[in-house]
Amino acid sequence: MLRAKGHLVTAVDLPARWARPEVAAATTPADFVESVGQVVRASPLPVVLVGHSLGGATISMVAEAYPDKVARLVYVTAFLVPPGETVRYISMSDKASLIPSSIRRDASTRTTTVIPEKAKDVFYADCSDDDVRIALQLLCAEPSTMGEARMLLSEERFGRVERVYVECLQDRAISIGTQRAMHAKLPCRKVFTLDSSHSPFLSNAEQLSDILGSLACTGFGCVNTL
């Protein structure tokens, strides 16, 4: 949908998905930053970085590393974590979230896996049966490194990159209360609201693409990569 609107789009594969246990265990936050940093460095124009869920931690770190290459950060029902805090702390403090009761942690490989029978309720409650079927096939063990990483963010670098938040009212993974607490603590230039679950790119794709398209062409001219 974004490409049909004329935007240049890169969907970045983050590290350690479907990786061997020893690879997942050794993955670091720097690996996540580098996977996105390759795209950012290659772009001739500043980019709009869109992070969903745990991806919010990655785009914050990328903005800290490359503030002059990032035009805007967009958090789609994502973890917008204040400096010095961690995703895990915020997640475990979210008493309305279904995540704590829907995952298994493997201490030996330092990975987290969503319990398949619970995935629809926590991630895809308002998605079509076909989308849920495909999404479940794409779930895999995730390294815990980004959840545990303390956000080393400075006002001079991360702090000068514009932030936008897309909150989702029906999210059962990151409750709307926690979403609003995060963007209240780290204020954003604009907050959009979708009446959707944790996966608006499936259940509210047209609305989300309209939002992202508008953000790629507001204030900066049309920037290069989402």
Q: For 153-167, what is each residue's pLDDT tens digit?
A: 999 999 999 999 999
End-to-end CA distance of the chain: 12
Range of the domain at 27: 21-216
Reply yes or no on whether the pLDDT at 216 is more than 90: no
**The pair of three-digit structure tokens given for residue 107, joined into one six-digit string:** 């201490």
Q: Is residue 14 part of a domain?
A: no
What mean pLDDT comes out for the span 62-66? 98
What mean pLDDT comes out for the span 45-72? 96
Count of CA atoms in the C-beta half-sphere (13 A) of 52: 17
Q: Is residue 226 part of a domain?
A: no
Contact (Cβ atoms closer than 8 angstroms) between residue 51 and residue 121: no
Reply yes or no on whether the pLDDT at 181 is more than 90: yes
Contact (Cβ atoms closer than 8 angstroms) between residue 10 and residue 34: no
Choose among 39, 44, 5: nearest CA to 223: 44
Q: Is residue 164 part of a domain?
A: yes
Q: What is the pLDDT of residue 24?
A: 82
CA 192 to chain centre: 15
Query: pLDDT higher for 224 or 5?
Result: 5
Q: Is 220 helix (H, G, I), strand (E, B) or coil?
A: coil
Contacts of 144 (CB under 8 A, 6+ apart): 88, 105, 110, 111, 112
Alpha helices in the chain (DSSP H): 21-26, 29-42, 55-65, 87-93, 116-123, 129-138, 145-148, 176-185, 200-203, 205-216
CATH of the domain at 39: 3.40.50.1820
Q: For 79-118, what is each residue's pLDDT tens digit?
A: 999 999 999 999 999 999 999 999 998 888 888 899 999 9
Cα-based torsion angle of the residue sequence 67, 73, 79, 84 in order, rounded to the nearest 10 degrees: 20
Reply yes or no on whether the pLDDT at 171 is more than 70: yes
Q: For 22-34, what is each residue's pLDDT tens digit?
A: 888 888 999 999 9
Rounded CA separation 54/59 (Å): 10
What mean pLDDT comes out for the span 188-204? 97
Reply yes or no on whether the pLDDT at 135 is more than 50: yes
Q: What is the pLDDT of residue 217?
A: 60
Number of domains in the chain: 1
Q: Is residue 46 part of a domain?
A: yes
Query: pLDDT higher for 25 or 214?
Result: 214
Reply yes or no on whether the pLDDT at 221 is more than 70: no
- State the pLDDT confidence band at 16, using cuts at 50, 70 and 90: confident
Q: Is residue 224 part of a domain?
A: no
Cross-sheet strand order for the sheet of 103-106: 103-106, 111-114, 142-143
Q: Is residue 15 part of a domain?
A: no
Q: Is residue 11 part of a domain?
A: no
Q: Is residue 69 part of a domain?
A: yes
